[in-house]
């Protein structure tokens, strides 16, 4: 996310009095902070009508219902809203021109300039991109995706009708992937986990070729190898090859273009490449009931018994972080070592642009704060939002509701002690 244009002057600024805002409405729902911290917004209800309250100002338009409120990377506020029996997608208070039978599952391009959502019209499904629906809609659609640059969208779709209890037709294949509304020619028994290449020109998905066999299909062509299971594929940024977690002989590994490239584990999933493709990491189970991270097929020695999630790589790929859970408590792991603190909850780690520091939103005893390199911020509040680093990595943006007031704080990393 581009942060160079944000205000990085150190200090504490009171942005909004949440308590005063709540007094203006019958009720106010969960608040959301913009990426740059300048704005806080929430769905609000007054006299049976819904809108969004942004800092201390409400959208001019009101609706029968507003949900799925959220900010894009560029700071625009979006929501799904019902109005006169139809659903609209709303951006900064203004609905797209087209209305839908239903709209959900918002997607943004990396810079936020393109917005897409899943739609349903007259019982058919697809996507709308910046308000324009796909020309073709389908019987069903799931696993929606938008390319990094927003130029292409895709989904797993049902390409043929299925009669009641028509098992034969189902086994012959009903499902495929549609890219920008155009379906692949090849049909599969099932399609899951659609992903687009970094430039959006290619698509891959986990597919089931019959009742028993799974593989990965790339641009409509399945790998020749078949497996007992697969997870969502990803494209190698270097050469466009496709890697996916696969199950063979009761064990999981990573395969590239259908060929195993890693050792086998009890489980292997949530794979991720570094930005340059030089490093490949995944969450793995090296032994029954234990979880950790493997980087380039080398598992960390630290394992957790309940869960490992939110794998994150630094921009240069030199470092990795994740969350682990054991005994009902969460820990933040960085490069195979856990911070000393244990938390009631923790959220995805965030690396500074130079990879030198790691921050995470954490909860302890019902209070929320930000920790950097294992050291917690001096303040904790009733709500906190994802942290962000300044471009040079020396400052941290802490967005927090404390004692009913929303503060935007820019804090030097050195102040986390």
pLDDT tens digit sequence for 318-349:
999 999 999 999 999 999 999 999 999 999 99
Q: Report the pLDDT value the prediction gives residue 166, as an integer from 0 to 100.
A: 64
Q: How many CB atoms lie within 10 A of CB 368?
A: 22
Q: Report the pLDDT value the prediction gives residue 1, as an integer from 0 to 100.
A: 79
DSSP 132-147: EEPS--BS-EEEEEE-
Asked if residue 50 lies in contact with residue 29, where contact means CB atoms within 8 angstroms, the answer is: no
Q: How far is 325 from 310, CA to CA, in rounded Å?
A: 11
DSSP 231-288: ---EE-TTT--EEEEEEETTEEEEEETTEE-S--BSEEEEEEE-TTSS-EEEEEEEET
Chain centroid offset of residue 89 CA: 19
Q: Report the pLDDT value the prediction gives residue 160, as an integer from 0 to 100.
A: 82
Q: How far is 168 from 191, CA to CA, in rounded Å?
A: 17
Q: How far is 108 from 116, CA to CA, in rounded Å?
A: 6
Q: Report the pLDDT value the prediction gives residue 165, as an integer from 0 to 100.
A: 62
What residue ranges of the chain have pLDDT lower than 70? Answer: 163-167, 169-170
Q: How many CB atoms lie within 10 A of CB 176?
A: 22
């Amino acid at each position: 996310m581009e942060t160079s244009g944000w205000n990085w002057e150190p200090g504490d600024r009171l942005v909004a009095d949440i308590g005063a805002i709540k007094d203006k409405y019958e009720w106010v729902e969960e608040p959301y902070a913009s990426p740059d911290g300048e704005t806080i917004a929430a769905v609000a209800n007054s006299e049976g009508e819904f809108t969004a309250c942004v800092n201390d100002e409400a959208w001019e338009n009101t609706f029968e219902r507003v949900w799925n409120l959220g900010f894009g990377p560029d700071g625009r506020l979006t929501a799904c809203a019902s109005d006169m029996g139809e659903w609209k997608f709303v951006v900064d208070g203004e609905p797209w021109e087209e209305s839908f039978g239903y709209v959900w599952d918002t997607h943004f391009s990396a810079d936020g300039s393109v917005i897409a959502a899943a739609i349903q019209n007259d019982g058919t499904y697809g996507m709308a991109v910046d308000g324009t629906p796909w020309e073709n809609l389908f019987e069903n659609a799931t696993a929606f995706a938008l390319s990094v640059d927003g130029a292409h969208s895709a989904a797993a779709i049902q390409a043929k009708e299925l009669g009641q209890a028509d098992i034969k037709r189902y086994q012959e294949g009903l499902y495929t992937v549609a890219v920008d509304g155009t379906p692949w020619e090849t049909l599969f028994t099932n399609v899951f986990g659609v992903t687009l290449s970094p430039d959006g020109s290619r698509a891959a998905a986990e597919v089931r070729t019959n009742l028993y066999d799974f593989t990965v299909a790339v641009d409509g062509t399945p790998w020749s190898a078949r497996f007992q299971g697969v997870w969502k594929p990803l494209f190698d940024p270097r050469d466009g090859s496709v890697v996916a977690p696969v199950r063979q002989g009761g064990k999981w590994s990573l395969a590239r273009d259908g060929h195993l490239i890693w050792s086998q584990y009890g489980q292997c999933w949530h794979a991720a490449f570094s930005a340059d493709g030089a490093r490949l990491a995944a969450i793995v189970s090296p032994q029954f009931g234990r979880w950790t991270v493997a980087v380039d097929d080398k598992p960390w020695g630290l394992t957790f018994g309940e869960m490992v999630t939110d794998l994150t790589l630094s921009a240069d790929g030199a470092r990795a972080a994740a969350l682990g859970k054991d005994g009902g408590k969460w820990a933040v792991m960085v490069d195979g070592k856990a911070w000393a603190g244990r938390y009631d909850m923790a959220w995805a780690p965030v690396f500074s642009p130079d990879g030198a520091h790691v921050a995470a939103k954490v909860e302890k005893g019902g209070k929320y704060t930000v920790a950097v390199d294992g050291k917690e911020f001096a303040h904790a509040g009733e709500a906190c939002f994802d942290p962000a680093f300044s471009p040079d990595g020396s400052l941290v943006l802490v967005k927090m509701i404390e004692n009913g007031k929303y503060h935007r704080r820019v804090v030097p990393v050195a102040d986390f002690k």
